Chain A
Amino acid sequence: MSSDHDHHDGDDDHELRVSKIRDGTVIDHVRGGQALNVLAILGIDGTDGEEVSVGMNVPSNRFARKDIVKVEGRELSQDEVDVLSLIAPDATINIVRDYDVVEKHRVERPDVVEGVLSCPNAGCITTGDEPVTSRFTVLEDGVRCSYCERIVREEIASLIDT
C-alpha cells in the first residue's frame, strides 16, 4: 500500500498542504466549504484533543475546489459515513493504518437516517419532549422528516443533532 496522498486524483501537491496521518481517516472530495460541517457531523469540535487537519477550498481535478478532512486515530463507522453522505455526497473515505490507505470507498446515501438530524419544523412532534428518535428518509435532493413530512433540501448540516 502506498501513502494516503497518492490516491487523490493527482491533487498530491495540495494534499501535502495538510499533514499525512499515521492511523485514522481521510475524508477527501468534500464539496468546498463543507469541511466544518463534516467535523460537526463527526462531533469534533477540538475540545477532546482530537488531532485533525483540514484543507479548505483547495484546487481539485474533480471539482474546482474541494475540502479535505484528516482525522488521526479514528476510523469512521458506517453510520457516520451514511450521514456524511448527506452533505458530502461525492466524498471519498480513506482508512489509513500505519501511513497506508487500507480501505478506500465512496460514500453511499442511505435510505433513512435516525437520531442524527433535528427537524426544523417547530410544529413537529419530534421537537417536543416525546421519547421519540428523529427519523428522516433520504430523498434524491434532500431529506424528509418521517413524522411531520417536512422536506429539507438546503442547509441539511444545520439540522445535525450535536
Chain B
Amino acid sequence: MRHDHLITSKQLSRADIETVLDRAAEIDADPSAVADRHANTLLGLLFFEPSTRTKMSFETAMKRLGGDVVDMGSVESSSVKKGETLADTVRVIEGYTDALVLRHPKQGAATMASEFVDVPLLNAGDGAGHHPTQTMLDLYTIRENAGLDDLTIGIMGDLKYGRTVHSLAHALTNFETQQHFISPESLQLPREVVYDLHQQQGGAGIKEHESLEAVLPSLDVLYVTRIQRERFPDENEYQKVAGEYQIDAETLEAASDDLTVMHPLPRVDEIAPEIDDTDYAAYFEQAHNGVPVRMALLDLLLSDDRGIRGETDE
C-alpha cells in the first residue's frame, strides 16, 4: 500500500500509522539529524479557513527539515476573491511547489483537489469532514501517554461537525480500542461516520452516550472537543447541554489517576484551567507534537521513494 496524498485517515493501515509515528519519534528524539534533509524543498500552504496551530506547525515542520513555505495568504487577498476555483488554484500552486497543504471549508475539497495535482497533497481539514494530520499527532500523543492497544477512549463534545473526531475515530479502528462517544443528541456522530466505524470494526468497539458520568471511570483517554455554540439554532438549547460537557477538577474525581485528557484546541470553556497543571492534561503536549509528526509526514511524502509505505508494500 502506498499513498502520495494524505486525504483521510481511512486510507491508512495500522502499519502506515506506525511508520509515521515511529518516524516522528526518531525526529522528536533528534531533530538536528534531519535539519537539512529537505533543503530547497518548497511547501505550498493553501488555507481557505483560519488556522493557527495547523498552519504554523506545518510551516515550522517544513523549515525544520531545511525547506521553506509559500503561503497563499488570506482568501480576501488571493485570486479566490476574484472567483478562481479551487481546482485552478491548486493546479497553479502545484507548479511552484513540491507539496501542498490544503484547508478548505467544503467537505471533499481535498479529495477533489488531489485529482488535479501530482505533487503530494495533505488535507489539513475539509469542512466537517477529515483532518488526518491532526489525527496523527493525536495518535502520537495517545501512544506516548496510554498506548494504542487495549485502550478505552472517550471522545466528547461536538461529534457531528468535529472533523478531528471523525478522523481519529476511523484511525483508532486499526487498534484494539473501545470508543465511547459522548455528546448531546443533536451533536452525535454523523451516520456516515457510524456506518464506516461499523464497517471497519463491526461495531464491536463503539458506543454512544449522552452523559460522561457512567463511562468516565473506565477511560484511559478523554478527548474533549468544543461544543460549538454557533451550531445551535436556540441559545437555550445550548445552555441546557453546555455545562454537562465541561471538565473540571470535580468532574475528574471519578476518573482513573492515569486518565489522559486531550483537546485539539482551541478550547473555550470545555476544560477548566485548573486541569492544566495536573498530570491529566496532555493538550499542550498534543499541540507541540504537531511539529515532529508533520515533519515525519512531510519527510515520508517528500523522500525519493515518495509515499507512506506500509508493511504490505512490496
Kindly identify which residue among A123, A126, A151 contacts B192, using a CB–CB cutoff of 8 Å: A151
Q: Which residues of chain B are near A149, meaning CB under 8 Å? A: 107-108, 129, 192, 196
Residue of B nearest to A126 (CB): B108
User: B106 at the A/B interface (Cβ < 8 Å)?
Assistant: yes
**Chain B neighbourhood of A125, CB < 8 A:** 86, 104, 106-109, 111-112, 126
A3 within 8 Å of B (CB atoms): no
B87 touches A123 (CB 8 A): no
In the bound complex, what is the Cα–Cα distance between A20 and B128 (angstroms)? 52
Q: Are A148 and B87 in contact (CB under 8 A)?
A: no
B87 to A131, Cβ gap below 8 A?
yes
CA distance A151 to B126 in the complex (A): 17
Contact A130 B107 (CB under 8 A): no
| Number of B interface residues in the complex (CB < 8 A) | 21
Does A123 contact B195, Cβ atoms closer than 8 Å? no
Complex Cα–Cα for A151 and B198 (A): 14
Q: At the interface, yes or no: A19 with Cβ under 8 Å from chain B?
A: no
Q: How large is the interface on A (under 10, 10 to 19, 20 to 34, 35 or more residues)?
A: 10 to 19
Contacts of A126 in B (CB 8 A): 108, 112
The minimal Cβ–Cβ distance linking B158 to chain A, given in whole angstroms, is: 15
Partner of A148, one of B107, B115, B191: B107
Assess the A128–B195 pair: CB atoms within 8 A. Answer: no
**One of A121, A130, A144, A147 near B87 (C-beta < 8 A):** A130
Given known A-B contacts A146-B111, A147-B108, A148-B108, A130 and B129 have beta carbons under 8 A apart: no
| Interface majority SS (helix, strand, loop, mixed), chain B | mixed
Q: Which of A123, A129, A131 contacts B127 (CB 8 A)?
A: A123
Cα–Cα, bound, A149→B130 (Å): 11
Contacts of A130 in B (CB 8 A): 85-87, 112
State whether the Cβ of A7 lies closer than 8 Å to any Cβ in chain B.
no
Q: Which of B83, B85, B107, B111 contacts A121 (CB 8 A)?
A: B107
Considering the complex, give the chain B residue whose CB is closest to the CB of A129: B85
Complex CA distance for A38 and B192, rounded to whole angstroms: 27
Residues of the A chain whose Cβ atoms lie less than 8 Å from the Cβ of B115: 132
Query: Is A124 among interface residues, defined by CB-CB distance under 8 A?
Result: yes
Contact A123 B112 (CB under 8 A): no
Chain A residues in 8 Å Cβ range of B83:
129
* A128 to B83 alpha-carbon distance, docked (Å): 11
**Per-position binary interface string of chain A over residues 110-146, scored 1 when its CB falls under 8 Å from any chain B CB and 0 otherwise:** 0000000000010111111111100000000000111
Per-residue CB proximity of B75-88 to A under 8 Å, as 1/0? 00000000101110
Rounded to whole Å, the gap between the CB of B231 and the closest CB of chain A is: 13
Within 8 A of A (CB), among B91-111: 104-109, 111
Q: Is A62 an interface residue (CB 8 A)?
A: no
Does any Cβ of B come within 8 Å of A17's Cβ? no
By a CB distance below 8 angstroms, the chain B residues around A147 are 107-108, 111-112
Q: Give chain A nearest CB distance to B124 CB in angstroms.
A: 15
In the assembled complex, 13 residue pairs joining A and B whose CB atoms fall closer than 8 Å, in A order, are: A123-B105, A123-B128, A124-B107, A125-B126, A127-B106, A128-B106, A129-B83, A130-B86, A131-B85, A145-B108, A146-B108, A148-B108, A151-B191
Chain A residues packing against B (C-beta within 8 Å):
121, 123-132, 144-151
Listed from nearest, the 10 A-B pairs whose CB atoms lie closest are: A147-B108, A148-B107, A148-B108, A125-B106, A125-B108, A125-B109, A125-B112, A123-B127, A123-B107, A151-B192
